[in-house]
């Protein structure tokens, strides 16, 4: 029976003009686990908790359910599309079949570099947990930018090697890590709430940290929302790995939705517990965090409450969760690069899309993505700065994906049946997702100064960097996005403008 299912998946993939080269090793749980690991509530919360708590105090918790609802709308839309296009590449593939080749190429180009920046942001989050853990164990690693960079590079090297040695090994590590994350975050959150609750629930309704005036309060809250925005994306990874998933038309959509719901519940519990467990006076903790006294406030909360052995165990659980998150994001980005290169849409496409006959992985693509993700670490701008840039680009690629899907819906798509379908709700959900995405992209593009935490500051705010006067006031996110788009436009004009049109999808297999 399993062999019959595999052959059916192989024939289904052949409809899209591709042969089975990657190994189909992901089952139901593994498909969910890789999408959940990309989201990884513990990773995103550890990376940007300092942002939310220093700007809005406990009130920033409310950004979580708002983002969950917005991203769940997008996930529903993506789940239906993933049921129709079970091929490696996510939004790139969807827009390729539903829109024009130029639109699809730029969508994939933006999403590719967003994934690379996300790997860089997450890999730089690992030292924030690992160095305090190793120090507690007596290794005494200096907590400096150089130490963090070296640890991050070692982590990146290990995840790159794991990616090379096959999706089955990645799945084993990933599946184990998800168990650690789910059980660890829930169990330790319950312990915090029951035995280390230092704050009252009133801190969640205290808006005093937002400042005065509706406009100022709204702007500050939207900046604090960046933490939640950074966490809940990447659920389309289950679709990106469709060619390595058994029965992907059915299982990928389920994994997409389950990953968002699971992360939403666990993240809400974890955030509630950590805010309640903040020791001492909340206002002093918020002020000290904003002043840089607690560069890793979640580590401070953990070590201040738990005895040494339990704090170390908690830090290890978080380290494991962040590590598999990095592995999942890197794997997803590699598959996107492979999918685009296989279509001849990237430089050195033939080399990037070559799959090792034994390992069944695109080895060169694994190495290239690892090297590109390591480049942002050469200059220390902080994990938060990289994370905000990565998230803004992810949301932009999601907007382009939603736009391409909506235009196809208005022309009558979908015409074929699929295991997951939205029916008459397809267009309204698609429009709602597009509105949400555009609103949040405006939030990312909004220049902010130090008054609201310095999110998306101008280039001149970067330490130890001298920029020409005409670039000094350009916000970092706009500059990064503009640079990537400029390189993309040049390459597209030189190599992709006259590329061949998208191949059509073959007819569905007649029922036996």
Residue 511 lies in a domain: no
- Taking residues 166-188, report their average pLDDT: 78
Q: Do the beta carbons of residue 312 and residue 136 sit within 8 Å?
A: yes
Dump pLDDT digits (tens) for 117-171.
Answer: 999 988 988 888 888 888 888 888 877 778 888 899 999 999 999 889 877 777 7
Dump pLDDT digits (tens) for 16-39.
Answer: 888 888 778 778 888 888 888 888
pLDDT-derived band at 499, boundaries 50, 70, 90 = confident
**Letter string b/e over residues 11-39, b meaning 16 or more CB atoms within 10 A of that residue's CB:** ebbeebebebbbbbbbeebbbbbbbbbbb
Residue 360 has pLDDT above 80, yes or no: yes
> Is this model's pTM higher than 0.95 or not?
no
Output DSSP code: residue 245: B
The C-alpha torsion from 231 through 233 and 237 to 239, rounded to 10°, is 150
Q: What angle do CA 168, 113, 479 make, to 5 degrees?
A: 160
Q: How many domains does the chain have?
A: 1
Residue 454 lies in a domain: yes
For 395, the enclosing helix (H) or strand (E) is: helix 383-410
Residue 511 has pLDDT above 50, yes or no: no
Mean of all residue pLDDT scores within the chain: 86
Range from 107-111, 318-322, 333-337 carrying the lowest mean pLDDT: 318-322
Dump pLDDT digits (tens) for 290-334.
Answer: 777 887 788 889 888 989 888 888 888 888 888 888 888 898 899
Dump pLDDT digits (tens) for 385-435.
Answer: 788 788 889 999 999 999 999 999 999 999 888 899 999 999 999 999 999
Residue 5 lies in a domain: no
Residue 212 lies in a domain: yes
- Find the domain containing 350 and state its range: 24-458
pLDDT of residue 508: 57
CATH number of the domain where residue 98 is located: 1.20.1740.10
Residue 174 has pLDDT above 60, yes or no: yes
pLDDT of residue 512: 39
Residue 487 has pLDDT above 80, yes or no: yes
Q: Which residues pair with 245 in a beta bridge?
A: 26
Residue 259 has pLDDT above 60, yes or no: yes
pLDDT-derived band at 446, boundaries 50, 70, 90 = confident
pLDDT of residue 451: 42
- Taking residues 66-91, report their average pLDDT: 93
pLDDT of residue 212: 80
Q: At what angle do helices 476-491 and 101-136 cross, to 10 degrees?
A: 130
**Rounded Cα–Cα distance for residues 152 and 128 (Å):** 10
Residue 404 lies in a domain: yes
pLDDT-derived band at 450, boundaries 50, 70, 90 = very low
Which residue has 């090697």 as its token pair? 161
For 148, the enclosing helix (H) or strand (E) is: helix 145-164
Residue 494 lies in a domain: no
The DSSP secondary structure of 280-317, one letter per residue, reads: S-HHHHHHHHHTTS-SSHHHHHHHHHS-HHHHHHHHHH
Residue 502 lies in a domain: no
Residue 504 has pLDDT above 70, yes or no: no
Residue 471 lies in a domain: no
**Rounded Cα–Cα distance for residues 328 and 119 (Å):** 9
pLDDT of residue 509: 56
Residue 510 has pLDDT above 60, yes or no: no
Dump pLDDT digits (tens) for 200-234.
Answer: 999 999 998 888 888 778 888 988 898 899 889 88
In whole angstroms, how far apart are CA 96 and each of 91, 93, 240, 334, 503?
Answer: 8, 5, 14, 18, 9
pLDDT of residue 70: 96
pLDDT of residue 455: 63
- Residue of 289, 322, 280 lying closest to 50 (CA atoms): 289
């Amino acid at each position: 029976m399993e062999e019959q299912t595999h052959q059916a998946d192989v024939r289904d993939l052949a409809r899209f003009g591709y042969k089975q080269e990657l190994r189909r090793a992901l089952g139901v749980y593994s498909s969910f686990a890789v999408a959940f690991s990309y989201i990884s509530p513990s990773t995103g919360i550890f990376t940007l908790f300092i942002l939310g708590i220093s700007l809005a105090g406990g009130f920033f918790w409310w950004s979580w359910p708002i983002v969950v609802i917005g991203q769940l709308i997008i996930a529903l839309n993506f789940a239906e599309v993933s049921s129709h296009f079970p091929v490696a590449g996510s939004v790139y593939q969807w827009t390729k079949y539903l829109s024009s080749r130029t639109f699809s190429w730029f969508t994939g180009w933006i999403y590719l570099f967003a994934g690379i920046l996300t790997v860089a942001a997450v890999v730089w989050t690992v030292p924030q947990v690992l160095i305090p853990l190793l120090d507690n164990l007596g290794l005494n690693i200096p907590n400096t930018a150089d130490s963090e960079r070296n640890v991050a590079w070692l982590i990146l090297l290990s995840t790159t090697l794991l990616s090379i040695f096959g999706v089955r090994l990645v799945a084993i590590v990933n599946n184990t890590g998800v168990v650690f994350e789910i059980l660890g975050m829930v169990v330790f959150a319950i312990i915090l709430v029951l035995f280390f609750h230092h704050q009252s629930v009133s801190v969640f309704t205290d808006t005093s940290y937002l400042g005065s005036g509706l406009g100022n309060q709204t702007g500050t809250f939207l900046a604090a929302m960046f933490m939640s925005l950074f966490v809940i994306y990447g659920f389309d990874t289950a679709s990106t790995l469709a060619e390595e998933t058994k029965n992907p038309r059915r299982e990928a959509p389920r994994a997409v939705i389950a990953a968002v719901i699971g992360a939403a519940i666990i993240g809400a519990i974890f955030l509630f517990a950590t805010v309640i467990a903040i020791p001492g006076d909340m206002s002093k903790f918020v002020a000290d965090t904003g002043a840089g006294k607690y560069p890793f406030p979640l580590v401070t909360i953990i070590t201040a409450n738990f005895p040494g052995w339990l704090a170390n165990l908690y830090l290890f659980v978080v380290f494991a969760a962040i590590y598999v998150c990095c592995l999942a994001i890197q794997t997803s980005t590699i598959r996107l690069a492979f999918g685009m290169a296989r279509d001849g849409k990237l430089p050195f496409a033939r080399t990037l899309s070559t799959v090792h006959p034994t390992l069944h992985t695109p080895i060169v693509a694994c190495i290239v993505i690892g090297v590109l993700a390591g480049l942002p670490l050469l200059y220390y701008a902080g994990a938060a700065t990289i994370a905000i840039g990565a998230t803004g680009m992810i949301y932009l690629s999601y907007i382009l994906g939603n736009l391409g899907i909506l235009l196809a819906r208005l022309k009558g798509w979908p015409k074929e049946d699929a295991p997951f379908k939205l029916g008459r709700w397809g267009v309204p959900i698609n429009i709602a997702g597009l509105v949400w995405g555009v609103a949040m992209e405006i939030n990312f593009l909004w220049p902010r100064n130090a008054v609201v935490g310095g999110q998306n500051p101008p280039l001149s705010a970067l330490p130890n960097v001298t920029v020409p006067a005409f670039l000094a006031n350009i916000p970092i996110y706009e500059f990064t996005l503009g640079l990537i788009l400029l390189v993309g436009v040049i390459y597209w004009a030189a190599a992709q403008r006259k590329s061949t049109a998208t191949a059509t999808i073959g007819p569905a297999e007649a029922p036996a």
